[in-house]
């Protein structure tokens, strides 16, 4: 019956290691197990070889003597503990009848203790029982791995779905005043470049790359006659335009995932300025979240070098000069330096994701 389960190994095919410094004892056990049709037997009279044998052959059961030269059985079991889930089960075979020996062995790693000379039938029964235990352990370990893999897969699917929603919302907002949606691609890639240059790790750079496209999601709530106005906004219109930061933060409120929390932070604060003259909360210096500070640099630069209903695209030198002049005023001066250090890569991004010619 046991052989019929696709995930259960035949007990007689499992790997058994015999460890005893007496050659006669090793030979006796090899003969006994061979006659009982156990196919995969390994033996050694040197306990120093046990760890290598267990790691190279995936041993399931160790038949272990206690009193041996170089290392006793207790020391061997201490080494085997380091194998974690891959460690074999241990049956101690010893001539020691003292109860303290038995207790120490069972408190260490041994699951069973048999006194020499042993009863053949009893020993084979105990070996079979321990192999059943080992097989069950291996099966449960395999099932746990499958479960972990499935949980990881489902979690990744959820993250991918959330990321796709974020990207689509970002593009929906961008289409309000940029039909191609390429601005958010350029600026998010530029932001990720600057983040990397500033020392952020790859996970942080990836997070910014995925969160930055949401920076202007609040523009969904701004009327077209203001958002697409070709001329300068009136004071009242400008007040309405500024509300897009809070609108975007409100849209993203309520989800505590790292991605959407970061996107909300960027929405709310990417129009703040280093000198405290920005909006909506007039934050100053490092009180402005760093993800928003980086996004501000990338967003302003790409906006300057892009065509808008109210302006022509700036030439690259003029845009770079503006960024430099605003260092310490609009922009974090340290981040401005990192921005300037990756200008060649930024130019590559501008070329790769250039707006199509009309």
Q: Where are the domains of the chain?
A: 2-148, 175-352
What pLDDT is recorded for position 162? Answer: 64
Print burial letters for 278-299: b (CB count within 10 Å at least 16), e (below 16).
bbeeebeeeebbbbbbbbbbbb
Average pLDDT over residues 130-140: 85
Greater pLDDT, 179 or 177: 177
What pLDDT is recorded for position 243? Answer: 94
Question: Computed from CA positions of residues 104, 109, 113, 117, in that sequence, does the dihedral angle turn out positive or negative?
Answer: negative
* Alpha-carbon 349 to chain mean position: 27
Measured distance CA(126)–CA(130) in Å, rounded: 6
Measured distance CA(1)–CA(321) in Å, rounded: 79
Q: Judge contact between 23 and 143, C-beta under 8 A.
A: no
* pLDDT above 70 for 8: no
In degrees, rounded to 5, the angle at the alpha carbon of residue 13 between the alpha carbons of residues 12 and 14 is 95
Length of the chain: 358
The two most distant CA atoms of the chain are separated, in Å, by: 101
Q: Strands, DSSP E only, in the chain?
A: 15-19, 40-44, 61-64, 89-94, 112-115
Measured distance CA(131)–CA(10) in Å, rounded: 10
* pLDDT above 90 for 148: no
Q: Is the pTM of this model over 0.95?
A: no
| Average pLDDT of the chain, as a whole number | 88
What pLDDT is recorded for position 226? Answer: 87
- Specify the CATH class of 2-148 in words: alpha beta
Average pLDDT over residues 308-313: 76
pLDDT bin (cut points 50, 70, 90) of residue 149 is confident
The two tokens of residue 288 are 């402005």
Average pLDDT over residues 296-304: 95
What pLDDT is recorded for position 311? Answer: 77
What pLDDT is recorded for position 42? Answer: 94
Q: Which of 260, 236, 235 is nearest to 248 (CA)?
A: 260
The two tokens of residue 344 are 């060649």
Average pLDDT over residues 344-353: 94
Q: Which of 30, 37, 41, 32 is nearest to 12 (CA)?
A: 37
Q: Judge contact between 242 and 271, C-beta under 8 A.
A: yes
Average pLDDT over residues 289-296: 97
Of 5-14, 46-55, 282-291, the poorest mean pLDDT is in 5-14
Task: State percent of the chain over pLDDT 90.
Answer: 59
Strand order in the sheet with 15-19: 40-44, 15-19, 61-64, 89-94, 112-115
Identify the burial level of 127 via C-beta atoms within 10 angstroms of its C-beta, where 0-12 means exposed, 13-18 middle and 19 or more buried. Answer: buried
pLDDT bin (cut points 50, 70, 90) of residue 86 is confident
- Specify the CATH class of 175-352 in words: mainly alpha
């Amino acid at each position: 019956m046991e052989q019929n389960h696709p995930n259960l190994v035949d007990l007689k095919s499992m790997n058994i290691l015999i460890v005893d410094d007496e050659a006669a004892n090793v030979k006796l056990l090899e003969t006994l197990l061979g006659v009982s049709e156990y196919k995969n037997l390994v033996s050694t009279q040197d306990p120093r070889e046990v760890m290598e044998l267990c790691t190279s052959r995936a041993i399931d059961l160790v038949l272990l003597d206690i009193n041996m030269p170089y290392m006793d059985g207790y020391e061997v079991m201490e080494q085997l503990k380091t194998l974690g889930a891959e460690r074999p089960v241990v049956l101690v075979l010893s001539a020691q009848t003292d109860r303290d020996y038995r207790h120490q062995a069972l408190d260490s790693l041994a699951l069973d203790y048999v006194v020499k000379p042993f009863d053949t039938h009893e020993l084979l029964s105990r070996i079979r029982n321990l192999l059943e235990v080992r097989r069950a352990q291996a099966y449960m370990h395999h099932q746990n791995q499958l479960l972990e893999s499935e949980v990881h897969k489902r979690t990744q699917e959820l993250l991918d779905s959330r990321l796709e929603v974020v990207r689509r919302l970002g593009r929906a907002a961008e289409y309000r005043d940029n039909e191609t949606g390429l601005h958010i691609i350029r600026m998010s890639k530029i932001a990720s470049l600057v983040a990397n240059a500033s020392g952020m790790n790859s996970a942080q750079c990836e997070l910014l790359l995925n969160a930055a496209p949401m920076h202007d999601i609040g523009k969904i709530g701004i009327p077209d006659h203001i958002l697409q106005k070709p001329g300068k906004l009136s004071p009242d219109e400008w007040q309405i335009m500024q509300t897009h930061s809070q609108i975007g933060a409100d849209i993203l409120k309520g989800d505590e995932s790292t991605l959407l929390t970061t996107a909300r932070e960027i929405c709310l604060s990417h129009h703040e300025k280093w000198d405290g003259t920005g909006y909506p909360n007039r934050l100053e210096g490092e009180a402005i979240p760093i993800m928003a500070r980086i996004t501000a640099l990338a967003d302003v630069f790409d906006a300057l070098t892009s065509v808008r209903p109210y302006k022509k695209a700036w030439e690259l030198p003029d845009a770079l000069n503006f960024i430099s002049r605003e260092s310490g005023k609009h922009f974090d001066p340290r981040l401005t330096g990192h921005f300037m250090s990756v200008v060649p890569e930024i130019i590559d991004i501008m070329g790769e994701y250039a707006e199509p010619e009309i």
